[in-house]
């Protein structure tokens, strides 16, 4: 695998896993009954993006490393 393929594969995995992780553990304004005027009731109160980015990166590494190994090992 070329370095470009490795980076693209990591990026694709990272974004797919991010979109899976984003809706987990979200507390909306409607849940806490404190809706700020001009925002949607489904807006998150605290998004925890930094934590979700770390979790996404760790899970991506756990998926990406075996995938790269498998591609390099089984596909000459």
**pLDDT 10s digits, 59-75:** 999 999 999 999 989 88
Positive or negative CA dihedral for 27, 28, 33, 36? Answer: positive
The pLDDT value recorded for residue 74 is 86
pTM, to two decimals: 0.84
Dig out the tokens for 75 from the structure.
């596909």
Instruction: Give percent of the chain above pLDDT 90.
Output: 71
**What is residue 46's predicted lDDT score, i.e. its pLDDT?**
87
Q: Which two tokens mark 47?
A: 């998004």
Cβ contact 39:29 at 8 Å:
yes
> Residue 76 — pLDDT band, cuts 50, 70, 90?
low
Neighbours of 56 (CB within 10 A): 21
User: Higher-confidence residue: 33 or 76?
Assistant: 33
Cα first-last separation, the chain: 9
């Amino acid at each position: 695998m070329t370095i470009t393929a490795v980076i693209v594969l990591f990026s694709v995995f990272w974004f797919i896993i991010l979109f899976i992780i984003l809706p987990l553990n979200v507390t909306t304004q409607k849940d806490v009954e404190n809706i700020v005027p001009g925002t949607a009731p489904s807006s998150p109160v605290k998004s925890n993006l930094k934590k979700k980015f770390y979790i996404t990166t760790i899970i991506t590494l756990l998926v990406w490393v075996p995938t790269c190994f498998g591609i390099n090992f089984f596909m000459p």
